[in-house]
Amino acid sequence: MGEWVLDAAALTDRGTTRPHNEDACAARVDPDGNALAVVADGVSLAAAGEVASQMAVEVLLRAYAEEPATAAPGQRLYRAVQQANIELYDRAIAVPELRGMSTTLTAAVVAGGELTAVHVGDSRLYLLRNGAAVQLTKDHTVAAEKVRMRLLSREKARLHPERSVLTRSVGRELIVSRDRIVQRLAPGDILLLCSDGLHGVLDDAELPALVGERFAAEACRALLDAANARGTPDNLSAAVVRVTGGAPLAGESPEGLGSRLRRLLGR
């Protein structure tokens, strides 16, 4: 088995129309060679959206680092997301100006060739492999729920007035339901975490070409530039983790991966 080599970066921008940035993101590779990436998109409520997203990212990074190193990275991440939820919920109760604040939160850890992700809201995690992009997360929005119930087409959901109305968010309730995704990775795989300011204006099929062979930081810049060129109406963030080494993944074609994931996610 080869050594896993990871490159990670994150970038956020207020976009072309918003006066403030209510997104927050981070990505890092630790001394053990494991990568951690996170994207959060605060729910607009005066200044509280900006506070919620930034706080969620900061608490998650701190809580993950404070978890016992002997614990599995995925379990550390799962508990860190819950800790972020609790601290946001408590802060909103204690500070009247922040009452009702919440945020999306999509976070991923890559360790030993395995991805573990925890997801709440409508930011997304994509796996880019062999020129194809597969969405690993499902959107927690009213419109997305209607698509899964076959009450609305995916095409109409992109323009639906409830496409950004969240059914779950971090900080809104004391206990938040978190989706967990586990996936083996292969050399050449790329993970993209992004807020809806980016995936709302760029088609999934465009993402692999925009990332290309670029280093993670350059890929983030290219994605944000492309979304801004489309006149995205929202803040936007991207975090990229590129796998440049490791063991081959046996017995899984990109077509088979996409089909299997879509069955699992009900798409």
Please give the average pLDDT of every successive group of 10 residues along the chain, which has 267 residues.
84 92 96 95 80 97 94 94 97 91 97 96 97 95 67 60 77 93 96 96 96 97 97 95 75 44 40
Residue 37: beta bridge partners? 27, 108
d(CA 89, CA 109): 24
The reported pLDDT for the residue numbered 143 is 67
Q: How far is CA 88 from the centre of its chain?
A: 18
d(CA 204, CA 213): 17
Place of tokens 């996610």: 265
Place of tokens 């060739």: 113
The reported pLDDT for the residue numbered 141 is 84
The reported pLDDT for the residue numbered 252 is 46
Place of tokens 């994509």: 126
H/E element, 29? strand 23-29
Angular region, 252: left φ>0, alpha ψ -120 to 50, beta rest: beta
d(CA 36, CA 18): 28
d(CA 231, CA 85): 32
In the chain, alpha helices (H): 48-66, 73-94, 142-148, 154-157, 196-199, 207-211, 216-229, 254-265
Q: Locate 142 and state its tokens.
A: 């009213």
d(CA 224, CA 198): 7
**What is the CB neighbour count within 10 angstroms for residue 244?**
14
Q: Locate 115 and state its tokens.
A: 């991805």
The reported pLDDT for the residue numbered 142 is 74
Q: Locate 192 and state its tokens.
A: 């993209």
* The total number of residues written for the chain in this structure: 267
The reported pLDDT for the residue numbered 254 is 43
Query: In this structure, what are the phi and psi dihedrals at residue 67, rounded to the nearest 5 degrees?
Result: -65, 150
Torsion of CA 92, 95, 100, 103, to 10 degrees: -50
Contact 198, 237 (CB under 8 A): yes
Q: Could you tell me where the beta strands, DSSP code E, fall in 140-189?
A: 179-184
Per DSSP, the three-state class of 238 is: strand
Contact 13, 225 (CB under 8 A): no
- Provide the CATH number for the domain formed by 6-137+163-265 in this structure: 3.60.40.10
